[in-house]
Amino acid sequence: MEITAIHEFTVKIIHEAGERIRQSLSEKLEIETKANANDLVTNIDRETELFFIEQIHAYDPAFKILGEEGMGEPLESLDGVVWIIDPIDGTMNFIRQHRNFAISIGIYVDGIGKLGYIYDVMRNDLYYAVEGQGAYMNDRQLERLQSLPLHEAIIGINATWVTPNRYIDHNKIIDLVHHVRGTRSYGSATLEIASVVCGRMDAYMSMRLSPWDIAGGAVIANEVGAIVSNLGNEAINLEEQDTFIIANPKIHKTIIEQYVHLK
């Protein structure tokens, strides 16, 4: 696989998709619900995923595609070249805020992350990495994360996980919230992951993320020394929904061991 050519192609189609999404904001969105009333999808999510599928298959029909909106073929394994795509992460922000949403793409070969992208569409900020070649935000190389104590950390966590829930003991998360310097919640997993790889936050965790939420970010994370895993400290799962944490290496283990009690 010619990594450089694919990287240039991916940057090009991400910017094209971003421009289409920005133009769509002046039109009326068609909004539908998916699994529940708070899980929304728009015609633009679907059109963007279709745009990517068409472009990618025109480039190489052998590429496999796993997309949030399920418009690619069913994925039976991670063998070969697999593109894992979220056309719009943060759909609720897209609908309500017209900002704070992102395109995310991870390109994996036989399950190994080779290229990762998170594109903040309205800020026009592209976070990306090529395996072994460092990570970038636009044309600026990202530094490896510097260590810091947990009590100085800013943690991305949705308020839901601080309330009783079926995944973890929320009382331990209350302890975590009290211990750290601050918490944030942006409503877009990929933009929260992007904040961690840039050192703007020091960890982000969620009880329920899908492969397309984390595939791009995980490649970028590796290049800056951020640790990604599920909340059981196992490798991330790119075939199904799971818990997730990305953290500064200094605090990853402490958060999992001292503050995460999975049910």
> Which residues fall in the annotated binding site?
68, 86, 88-89, 213
Contacts of 258 (CB under 8 A, 6+ apart): 172
The reply to whether 26 sits near its own copies by the rule CB under 8 A is: no
Q: Are 192 and 129 in contact (CB under 8 A)?
A: no
> Which residues fall in the annotated binding site for Mg(2+)?
68, 86, 88-89, 213
Question: Residue holding tokens 């052998």?
Answer: 62
The reply to whether 206 sits near its own copies by the rule CB under 8 A is: no
Specify the amino acid at residue 192. Answer: E
* Min separation Cβ 186 and its own copies, Å: 7
The Cα–Cα gap between 102 and 17 comes to 11
The Cα–Cα gap between 101 and 145 comes to 24
Task: Pick one of 4, 35, 38, 263: the residue that binds its own copies (CB under 8 A).
Answer: 38
The reply to whether 134 sits near its own copies by the rule CB under 8 A is: no
Task: Pick one of 53, 82, 154, 207: the residue that binds its own copies (CB under 8 A).
Answer: 154
Q: What's the residue count for the chain? A: 263
Task: Pick one of 131, 199, 233, 258: the residue that binds its own copies (CB under 8 A).
Answer: 199
The reply to whether 99 sits near its own copies by the rule CB under 8 A is: yes
Part of the chain binding its own copies (CB under 8 A), chosen from 25-33, 58-66, 69-77, 180-188: 180-188
Q: For residue 81, what is the enclosing H or E element?
A: strand 81-89
Measured in degrees and rounded to the nearest 5, phi and psi for residue 112 equal: -100, 130
Report in angstroms the alpha-carbon separations of 156 from 16, 31, 54, 174, 202.
29, 27, 34, 13, 8
The reply to whether 160 sits near its own copies by the rule CB under 8 A is: yes
The Cα–Cα gap between 261 and 170 comes to 8
The reply to whether 43 sits near its own copies by the rule CB under 8 A is: no
Size of the site for its own copies (CB under 8 A): 31
Task: Pick one of 158, 206, 222, 230: the residue that binds its own copies (CB under 8 A).
Answer: 158
The reply to whether 190 sits near its own copies by the rule CB under 8 A is: no
The reply to whether 29 sits near its own copies by the rule CB under 8 A is: no
Q: How many CA atoms lie within 13 A of 245 on its CB side?
A: 23
What count of other Cβ atoms lies within 10 Å of the Cβ of residue 242? 20
Tell which residue, 194, 4, 10, 186, has the closest CA to residue 84.
10
Part of the chain binding its own copies (CB under 8 A), chosen from 73-81, 106-114, 184-192, 234-242: 184-192
* Min separation Cβ 205 and its own copies, Å: 12
Beta carbon nearer to its own copies, 78 or 155:
155
Task: Pick one of 98, 144, 253, 261: the residue that binds its own copies (CB under 8 A).
Answer: 98
Residues found near its own copies in the complex (CB under 8 A): 37-38, 92, 96-99, 123, 151, 154, 157-160, 162-164, 174, 177-178, 181-187, 195, 199-201
